[in-house]
C-alpha cells in the first residue's frame, strides 16, 4: 500500500518540491521517517499518531515508512506533519489518493488534530501555482495563500474538515485574500522636528535617491526622531514590492493573520542584536533584520555600539542587495535591498563639541569611538551629516517646519524622474543610490564648472574612487530633485558637503 503527495522545502526564498512517499508494509511494526529529517520533522510521527487517535483512528500494527525525497536535502521545520498525515489517510483508504496529487500540502498538527499556522505559506502557494497545483494549508494561513493568484486553496481548521471535504460531506470555502490596513504614518511628522534644517534636507535627499545616511550628533539632537520620520516621506510599496516584502515576512513567520503588507518596512534592531538576527541564518535558517527591511529602511541607532563582526557582515548585503546565509551543505539567499540609516554620537560621552561638558579624554575618545566602524562600511554610506545640539530657545519656539506629506510629494516626483530615466536606459535599477560604474558616469557627468569643482575637491579632500562616485550619485539626486537635466556645480557642491566627517 503506497501513496505520494507533494510538499515543499525552503532554501532561502527559493522553494523546492519535496515528494512525500508513504508506505504500509508487512514486517516489524513501526513508524519511520527517512530522508534527512531534522528533529522537528522526526517528531512529526508522534503528532500524527496523536492526531489520528484524537479522530478515533488508530494506525495499523504494521510497518509504516515515510520517505521524503530528494533524500539529500535537509528537511527542516514542522510543516511536514500535514503531508505525512494526508499520505497515511490515503494509504488507509480514508481519502482518495488520486486527488492528493493535485495539491501541495504543508501544515503543523496539534495533538488534537487541529492545524497550527506555519511560516512560508505565501512562497509555498506561489510555488504550487507554478506547478499548476492547489495548496492545502492551515486555516490561519489561508488568506496569505490566496495572494498567489489563480490557485485552489484548501485552508482547513483541522484534519477532520479535510477528510470531510475530500469525501464531499462538507466542502471548504476558498479563503479571502486580505490586506493590512494602511498604518497611519502621520502619528509622527517631520514638522515636530525643530531646527536641524541640514539634517532634514539630507533626509529628503536620502528618501529621494534611496541613499544610505549617517547622522552624527550629541545626545538629544533629534537623530532618532528624524530616522523615525523617514518612513512617512517614502512612497508606498508598489504591488510587486509588497508581494516581495510579504514573502520574506511569511518565511520569517512574522505575518500578521496572513495579510499582505502595504507599509514600507522600517526595522530598528537593538545594538545587542546578534549576527544571525541581523543578516539571517541561525540554527533554523530565517531571514534577518536586513531582509525583513527589504524595500524599506534599516535603522541602526548608536552604530558603534553594535558588535564589530556584526557590522562587517552587513557590508556585503549593503553592496549586493542580497544576504547570503551559509549552512553546512548549502547557501541560501534572501533579498536585502535596504536603505541604511545610521545614527551615532561623536564620542562615548557624546559632548565632544562642547568643552564644558565633554569628558577628560576628549578628543582622543572620539577617535577610539569612531574607529569601531571600518572605513569600508563608512564608504557605503552616501550621505554623512552632522547635527548640532538643539538649543533651549529652539525647543520652546513653535514648530514651523514643513509637514511630512509635503516632503513626500516632492520625494515621489524625484523618484518618478529616476524611474523614467532608468527605464528609458533599459537598466534594472530604479534609484540613483544603486547606480554605479559606467552608467553612473554617463548619467551624472557634471557640466564644465561642476567638473572643475569636483576635480579640485578630489585633490583637496583626497577622495577615494568610492568617495568620488558617492559625490556623483548624491549630486545626481539633488539635480533630479530640482528637475535639472544636467548636474551643475551647485549640485556637486551640495553633495560634497555630505562627505565623511572626521572628528577629534
Ligand atoms: N530638533 C528637535 N526638535 C524637537 N524636539 C527635539 C529635537 N531634538 C530632540 N528633541 C526632543 O528630544 C528627545 C530625544 O531626541 P532623540 O531623537 O532621541 O535624540 P538623539 O537620538 O539624537 O539622541 C525627542 O524625543 C524630542 O522630544
Ligand atoms: Mg537616539
The alpha helices in 210-360, defined as continuous H runs, are: 223-228, 239-251, 275-279, 289-292, 308-320
Provide the pLDDT for residue 502: 61
Q: What is the mean pLDDT of residues 460-481?
A: 90
Phi, then psi, of 21 in degrees rounded to 5: -110, 130
Q: What is the mean pLDDT of residues 418-435?
A: 91
Provide the pLDDT for residue 186: 54
DSSP state of 76: -
| Per-residue pLDDT at 184 exceeds 60 | no
Q: What is the mean pLDDT of residues 234-245?
A: 91
Pick from 3-12, 355-364, 373-382, 481-490: least confident: 355-364
Ligand 1 pocket residues where CB is under 6 Å: 193-196, 217, 219-225, 343, 390, 395
For residue range 192-230, list pLDDT tens digits in order: 898 899 999 999 999 999 999 999 988 889 999 999 999
Provide the pLDDT for residue 494: 95
Name the closest ligand to CA 399: 1
- Tell how far the Cα of 37 is from the centroid of ligand 2, in angstroms: 45
Percent of residues, the chain, with pLDDT higher than 70: 96
| Per-residue pLDDT at 322 exceeds 90 | yes
| Per-residue pLDDT at 130 exceeds 80 | yes
Choosing from 195, 218, 225 the residue with most ligand 1 atoms within 8 A of its CB, the one to mutate for a pocket test is 225
Contacts of 125 (CB under 8 A, 6+ apart): 135, 137, 144, 145, 146, 147, 148, 151, 153
| Per-residue pLDDT at 315 exceeds 50 | yes
- Tell how far the Cα of 105 is from the centroid of ligand 1, in angstroms: 50
Nearest to 209 by CA among 454, 383, 1, 403: 383
Choosing from 220, 228, 300, 390 the residue with most ligand 1 atoms within 8 A of its CB, the one to mutate for a pocket test is 220
**Which residue minimizes the CA distance to atom 8 of ligand 1?**
222
Euclidean distance between CA atoms 145 and 143, whole angstroms: 5
Pick from 215-219, 253-257, 270-274: least confident: 253-257
Nearest to 202 by CA among 97, 46, 341, 30: 341
Provide the pLDDT for residue 498: 92
Name the closest ligand to CA 388: 1
Euclidean distance between CA atoms 445 and 116, whole angstroms: 57
- Tell how far the Cα of 238 is from the centroid of ligand 1, in angstroms: 32
The angle at the Cα of 444, spanning 438 to 450, to the nearest 5 degrees, equals 125
| Per-residue pLDDT at 22 exceeds 70 | yes
Q: What is the mean pLDDT of residues 127-137?
A: 96
Q: Which atom of ligand 1 is nearest to the CA of 225?
A: 17
Residue appearing with cell numbers 495539491 = 103
Q: What is the mean pLDDT of residues 245-260?
A: 88
CB 15 within 8 A of CB 8: yes
Euclidean distance between CA atoms 152 and 288, whole angstroms: 31
Question: Is the link from the previous residue into 363 a cis peptide, with omega within 30 of 0?
Answer: yes
- Looking at every residue in the chain, the average pLDDT score rounds to 90
Q: Considering only residues 340 and 76, tell me which one the structure prediction assigns the higher pLDDT.
A: 340
Phi, then psi, of 93 in degrees rounded to 5: 80, 10
- pLDDT tier, 31 (very low <50, low <70, confident <90, very high otherwise): very high
Protein residues within 5 Å, CB atom, of ion ligand 2: 224
Provide the pLDDT for residue 360: 67
- Ordered DSSP codes for 398-446: PP-S--HHHHHHHHHHHHHHHHHHHHHHT-S--SGGG--HHHHHHHS-B
Decide the pairing of beta strands 153-156 and 383-386. unpaired
Torsion sign across C-alpha atoms 117, 122, 123, 125: positive
Q: What is the mean pLDDT of residues 492-500?
A: 90
**Which residue minimizes the CA distance to atom 12 of ligand 1?**
220
**Which residue minimizes the CA distance to atom 26 of ligand 1?**
222
| Per-residue pLDDT at 384 exceeds 60 | yes
Question: Rounded to an integer, what is the distance from CA 290 to the centroid of its chain?
Answer: 6
Cell of residue 296, nine digits: 524599506
Q: Considering only residues 160 and 355, tell me which one the structure prediction assigns the higher pLDDT.
A: 160
**pTM, 2 dp:** 0.89
Q: Which domains does the chain have, with CATH numbers?
A: 2-167 (3.30.230.10), 185-424 (3.40.50.300)
CB 247 within 8 A of CB 235: no
Nearest to 259 by CA among 186, 183, 187: 183
CB 349 within 8 A of CB 309: no
- pLDDT tier, 80 (very low <50, low <70, confident <90, very high otherwise): very high
- Ordered DSSP codes for 7-22: EEEEETTEEEEEEEEE
Q: Which atom of ligand 1 is nearest to the CA of 343?
A: 21
CA distances from 441 to 13, 414, 436, 445, 468 (A): 34, 20, 8, 6, 11
Provide the pLDDT for residue 504: 44
Residue 454 burial class via C-beta count within 10 angstroms: exposed 0-12, middle 13-18, buried 19 and up = buried
Provide the pLDDT for residue 281: 79
Provide the pLDDT for residue 362: 64
Identify the bridge partners of residue 342 per DSSP, sorted by sequence position: 214, 300
Question: Rounded to an integer, what is the distance from CA 478 to the centroid of its chain?
Answer: 27
The angle at the Cα of 372, spanning 216 to 499, to the nearest 5 degrees, equals 40
SS3 258: coil
Phi, then psi, of 153 in degrees rounded to 5: -110, 125
**Which residue minimizes the CA distance to atom 10 of ligand 1?**
222
Provide the pLDDT for residue 355: 67
- Tell how far the Cα of 412 is from the centroid of ligand 1, in angstroms: 27
- Tell how far the Cα of 302 is from the centroid of ligand 1, in angstroms: 14
Euclidean distance between CA atoms 327 and 132, whole angstroms: 31
- Tell how far the Cα of 308 is from the centroid of ligand 1, in angstroms: 27
Percent of residues, the chain, with pLDDT higher than 90: 64
| Per-residue pLDDT at 465 exceeds 70 | yes
Amino acid at each position: 500500500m503506497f501513496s505520494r503527495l507533494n510538499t515543499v522545502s525552503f532554501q532561502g526564498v527559493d522553494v523546492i518540491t519535496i515528494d512525500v512517499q508513504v508506505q504500509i508494509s508487512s514486517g516489524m511494526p513501526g513508524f519511520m521517517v527517512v530522508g534527512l529529517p531534522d528533529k522537528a520533522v522526526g517528531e512529526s510521527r508522534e503528532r500524527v499518531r496523536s492526531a489520528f487517535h484524537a479522530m478515533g483512528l488508530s494506525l495499523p500494527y504494521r510497518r509504516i515508512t515515510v520517505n521524503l525525497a530528494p533524500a539529500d536535502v535537509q528537511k527542516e521545520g514542522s510543516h511536514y506533519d500535514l503531508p505525512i498525515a494526508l499520505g497515511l489517510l490515503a494509504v488507509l483508504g480514508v481519502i482518495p489518493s488520486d486527488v492528493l496529487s493535485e495539491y501541495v500540502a504543508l501544515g503543523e498538527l496539534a495533538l488534537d488534530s487541529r492545524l497550527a499556522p506555519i511560516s512560508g505559506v505565501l512562497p509555498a502557494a506561489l510555488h504550487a501555482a507554478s506547478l499548476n497545483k492547489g495548496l492545502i494549508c492551515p486555516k490561519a494561513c489561508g488568506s496569505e495563500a490566496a495572494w498567489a493568484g489563480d490557485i485552489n486553496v484548501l485552508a482547513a481548521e483541522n484534519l477532520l474538515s479535510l477528510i470531510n471535504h475530500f469525501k464531499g460531506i462538507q466542502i471548504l470555502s476558498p479563503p479571502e485574500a486580505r490586506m493590512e490596513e494602511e498604518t497611519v504614518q502621520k502619528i509622527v511628522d517631520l514638522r515636530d522636528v525643530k531646527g536641524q534644517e541640514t539634517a532634514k534636507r539630507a533626509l529628503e535627499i536620502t528618501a529621494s535617491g534611496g541613499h544610505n545616511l549617517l547622522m552624527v550628533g550629541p545626545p538629544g539632537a533629534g537623530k532618532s526622531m528624524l530616522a523615525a520620520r523617514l518612513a512617512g516621506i517614502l512612497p508606498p510599496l508598489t504591488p510587486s514590492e509588497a508581494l516581495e516584502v510579504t514573502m520574506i515576512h511569511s518565511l520569517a513567520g512574522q505575518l500578521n493573520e496572513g495579510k499582505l503588507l502595504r507599509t514600507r518596512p522600517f526595522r530598528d534592531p537593538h545594538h545587542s542584536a546578534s549576527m544571525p538576527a541581523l543578516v539571517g541564518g541561525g540554527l533554523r535558517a530565517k531571514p534577518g533584520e536586513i531582509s525583513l527591511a527589504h524595500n524599506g529602511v534599516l535603522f541602526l541607532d548608536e552604530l558603534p555600539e553594535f558588535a564589530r563582526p556584526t557590522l562587517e557582515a552587513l557590508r556585503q548585503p549593503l553592496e549586493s542587495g542580497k544576504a547570503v546565509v551559509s549552512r553546512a551543505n548549502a547557501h541560501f539567499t534572501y533579498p536585502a535591498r535596504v536603505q541604511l540609516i545610521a545614527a551615532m554620537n561623536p564620542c562615548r560621552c557624546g559632548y565632544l563639541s562642547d568643552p564644558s561638558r565633554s569628558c577628560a579624554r576628549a578628543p582622543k575618545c572620539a577617535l577610539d569611538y569612531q574607529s569601531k566602524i571600518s572605513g569600508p562600511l563608512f564608504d557605503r554610506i552616501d550621505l554623512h551629516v552632522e547635527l548640532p545640539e538643539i538649543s533651549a530657545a529652539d525647543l520652546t519656539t513653535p514648530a514651523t517646519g514643513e509637514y511630512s506629506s509635503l516632503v513626500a510629494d516632492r520625494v515621489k516626483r524625484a523618484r518618478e524622474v529616476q524611474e523614467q530615466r532608468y527605464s528609458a536606459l533599459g537598466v534594472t535599477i530604479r534609484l540613483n543610490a544603486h547606480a554605479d560604474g559606467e552608467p553612473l558616469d554617463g548619467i551624472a557627468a557634471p557640466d564644465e564648472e561642476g567638473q572643475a569643482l569636483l576635480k579640485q575637491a578630489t585633490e583637496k579632500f583626497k577622495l577615494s574612487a568610492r568617495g568620488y562616485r558617492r559625490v556623483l550619485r548624491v549630486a545626481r539626486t539633488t539635480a533630479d530633485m530640482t528637475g535639472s537635466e544636467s548636474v551643475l556645480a551647485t549640485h556637486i557642491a551640495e553633495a560634497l558637503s555630505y562627505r565623511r566627517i572626521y572628528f577629534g
